[in-house]
């Protein structure tokens, strides 16, 4: 097969189709700035979409839970090794992606004998000057950088629509409560872009009743070292009542 390039290209194309089909019902995870830091959140049937990676880095995942967990652990180990060998300030997402996870994903995807990762990852970073940067990385190692927020989803039409809406909103000026409300509004409106989801929650009330809201923030103006924290029960209840 490898002596005939067109067969390899056909195999890679088939892998793209296979992964995209497996991903298509993956629920959106959104990350946006707000006036005190960065928000990451998403709804899912069970926990396992939002994680802390390092002091100023958060992760959101869509795809097979085992693949998300495997890559989360890989990023975690890389970040701590980088911090140990160099310094905590040298641990940046650009380095972790460019020299670590992206080449590994690309190699995995192009090795036809191996099962591909069924994932999309969102990574958010708040630097020491409180400037946010957002990254989206695909199952084949391709990654993009955003300044005003980003989203991952299984359905590319939904993902592109939400991304455009994020670009049009001044999230960096919003309070956390306002950012949460706007992100939830985008989540609901994105349902109109996807016809295959008829058995899934279509309203926020249904989502809160049937699924789990996972969310976390990276706070830029805190005295403690740990700036990552999960959304509190009180914040989620306030959001639920405000959008209900």
Q: Which domain holds residue 92?
A: 32-243
Q: Is residue 21 part of a domain?
A: no
Q: Is residue 1 part of a domain?
A: no
Q: Is residue 3 part of a domain?
A: no
Give DSSP secondary structure letters for 59-86: EEEEE-HHHHHHHHHHHHHHHHHHHHHS
Q: Does 3 have pLDDT greater than 70?
A: no
Q: Is residue 123 part of a domain?
A: yes
Q: Is residue 95 part of a domain?
A: yes
DSSP 108: H
The closest alpha carbon to 192, from 167, 215, 217, 165, belongs to 165
Asked whether the beta carbons of 102 and 137 are under 8 A apart, the reply is yes
- Number of domains present in the structure of the chain: 1
Mean pLDDT, rounded, for 98-113: 91
Q: Does 108 have pLDDT greater than 90?
A: yes
Q: Is residue 238 part of a domain?
A: yes
User: Global pTM?
Assistant: 0.91
Q: Is residue 90 part of a domain?
A: yes
pLDDT, tens only, 61-105: 999 999 999 999 999 999 999 888 888 888 889 899 998 899 999
> For the chain, what is the mean pLDDT?
90
What is the domain-level CATH number for residue 52?
3.60.20.10
């Amino acid at each position: 097969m490898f002596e005939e390039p067109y067969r390899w290209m056909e195999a890679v194309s088939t892998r793209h189709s296979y992964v995209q089909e497996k991903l298509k019902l993956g629920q959106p995870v959104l990350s946006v700035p707000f006036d005190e830091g960065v928000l990451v959140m998403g709804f899912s049937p069970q926990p396992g979409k939002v994680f802390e990676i390092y002091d100023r880095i958060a992760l959101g995942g869509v795809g097979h839970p085992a693949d998300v967990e495997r890559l989360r652990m890989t990023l975690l180990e890389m970040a701590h090794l980088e911090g140990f060998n160099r310094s905590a300030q040298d641990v940046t997402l650009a380095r972790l992606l460019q020299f670590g996870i992206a080449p590994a994903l690309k190699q995995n995807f192009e090795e036809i004998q191996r099962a591909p990762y069924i994932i999309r990852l969102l990574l958010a970073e708040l630097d020491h000057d409180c400037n946010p940067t957002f990254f989206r990385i695909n199952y084949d190692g391709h990654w993009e950088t955003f300044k005003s927020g980003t989203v991952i989803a299984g359905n590319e039409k939904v993902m592109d629509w939400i991304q455009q809406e994020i670009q049009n909103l001044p999230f960096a000026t919003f309070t956390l409560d306002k950012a949460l409300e706007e992100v939830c509004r985008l989540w609901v409106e994105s349902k109109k872009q996807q016809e295959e989801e008829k058995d899934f929650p279509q309203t926020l009330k249904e989502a809160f009743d049937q699924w789990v809201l996972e969310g976390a923030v990276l706070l830029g103006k805190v005295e403690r070292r740990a700036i990552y924290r999960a959304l509190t029960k009180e914040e989620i209840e306030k959001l639920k009542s405000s959008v209900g």
